[in-house]
Amino acid sequence: MERAEKIREEFHRMMKEFLRHTIGKLLEKELEEYLGYSKHERREDPDNYRNGYYEKKVNTSLGEIDIKVPRDRKSEFEPALIPKGEKSLVEDLQKKLFLLYSKGLSTRDIQDILEDVYGTRLSASTISRITDRIIPEINEWLTRPLKEIYSAIFIDCLFVSVRSENRVSKKALYVVAGVDTDGFKEILGFWISETESASFWLNVLNDLKARGVEDVIIFVSDGLKGIEESIRAVFPNSDHQKCFVHKVRNSLKKVKNKDKKIIAKELRAIYMAINEDQARQRFEEFKAKYQDEYKDLVKSWENDLDSLLTFFKYPYEIRRMLATTNFIESINSKIKKVTYGKKIFPDDMALLKVCYGVALDLDEKWQKPVKDWETIKAQLQILFEGRI
């Protein structure tokens, strides 16, 4: 909780600076429109011109902010954003600015909203400079110390179009999240990769270890290339559970349309078994039925069966937490929601800004441990005496 409080304090400080800087730019734009020419444009005998600034304290929901208000020679300019004598910022602007940052709206969206509400339009470069102010905070967050032990770590990825060296490619954005020994959820980090490999996963897991993670009871992931070998190399005592939901979904891509519904039902029946013996028996029945028509699919399940059935080693409450990556898929869903409409990110950092906003938002929401945590923790302490 101390870490969460520190993040909130830093984010609050950053948002105040973000707000102060943005207000200043909006006021400059208002004066530019009022005078009819830009700050550095030369005019012969202008009727009115800029005449420095005066300082003003403005009350906002983030606290008091010191701003500089530009003024004109005739003292006729009165900004609509903060009228003379007014000491409170328009509340609607604060909400919109927070929304613009945390929800990952595009530069054009930000420009359109500010222009629609206040009749002023910030340049794309100004907006970019404002959002770049959070880069140090993002880098600090991505390298922050982590807890020594995690009950479970979930790994998943989604693909996003990112521009790099004048070309656009689909990059893999890997999301790693954990449940600590008190049952609280936490996003541990984001990694962006051109390609997936065992060496990539080795680097990710070693990064977690370098940031303080000493032990993980179980990893849950899709069938990511090289992940199982990397887990054994870095966290040899950890179990690995492959996600049943992903496995079924990927398998159905190789099935004829007429067979999808029945095969999905039979594969899910393996996962819904009472115990491991029943699950293996149901797989054998599935194998006998579809060996001839779907030989490759059956072989794939046979190869992955041990890691797909890992969760049967645990009591029901733990199984429910581990059986699928619903937890991390909900994170991915939120990322997709805030990136909806963005066809291409200009660079990796632009993507990380959005992800960071999602992480901060979720951190505010994850204030309770996972369901049945006291029971789960008691079971883990018995099963893994000395580790939990």
The average pLDDT across 162-176 equals 87
Looking at residue 243, what is its pLDDT? Answer: 84
Examine the pLDDT at 42 and tell me if it is beyond 70.
no
- Output the average pLDDT for the chain: 82
C-alpha to C-alpha distance for 54 and 37, rounded to whole angstroms: 21
Q: What is the mean predicted confidence (pLDDT) over 252-258?
A: 91
More confident residue, 223 or 358: 358
Name which of 266, 267, 342, 350 is nearest 305 in CA terms.
267
Domain ranges of the chain: 2-133, 148-383
Residue 92: per-residue pLDDT? 45
Average pLDDT over residues 249-276: 91
Which segments of 302-360 are extended strands (E)? none
Q: Please say whether the beta carbons of 173 and 158 come within 8 A.
A: yes
pLDDT value of residue 257: 92
Contact between 155 and 196 under an 8 Å Cβ cutoff? The reply is no
pLDDT band at residue 187 under the 50/70/90 scheme? very high
Per-residue confidence at 101, pLDDT binned at 50, 70, 90?
low
pLDDT score of 181: 94
CB < 8 Å & 24+ apart, contacts of 99-105: 101/15, 101/18, 101/131, 101/134, 101/357, 102/357, 102/360, 102/361, 103/338, 103/357, 104/338, 104/339, 104/342, 104/353, 104/354, 104/357, 104/358
Higher pLDDT pick, 281 / 75: 281
Distance separating alpha carbons of residues 94 and 15, to the nearest angstrom: 10
| Percent of the residues in the chain that have a pLDDT greater than 90, as a whole number | 35
pLDDT digits (tens, 9 = 90+) for 106-142: 677 777 776 765 555 666 666 666 667 678 888 999 9
| Averaged pLDDT, 184-212 | 91
**Residue 246's pLDDT is what?**
83
Report the pLDDT value the prediction gives residue 94, as an integer from 0 to 100: 45
Tokens 């003379």 sit on residue? 84
Better-predicted residue by pLDDT, 245 or 102: 245
pLDDT average, residue stretch 231-244: 92
Q: Are 155 and 176 in contact (CB under 8 A)?
A: yes
- Residue with the two structure tokens 């992940």: 227
Q: Nearest to residue 21, comparing CAs of 173, 176, 127?
A: 127
Each residue's pLDDT tens digit, 298-349: 999 999 999 899 989 899 888 888 755 567 778 888 888 877 667 788 889 8
For the ranges 36-40, 245-249, 381-385, the lowest mean pLDDT is seen at 36-40
pLDDT average, residue stretch 41-62: 75
Distance CA 332, CA 327 (A): 9
Averaged pLDDT for residues 22-27: 77
Residue 86: which pLDDT band, with cuts at 50, 70 and 90? low
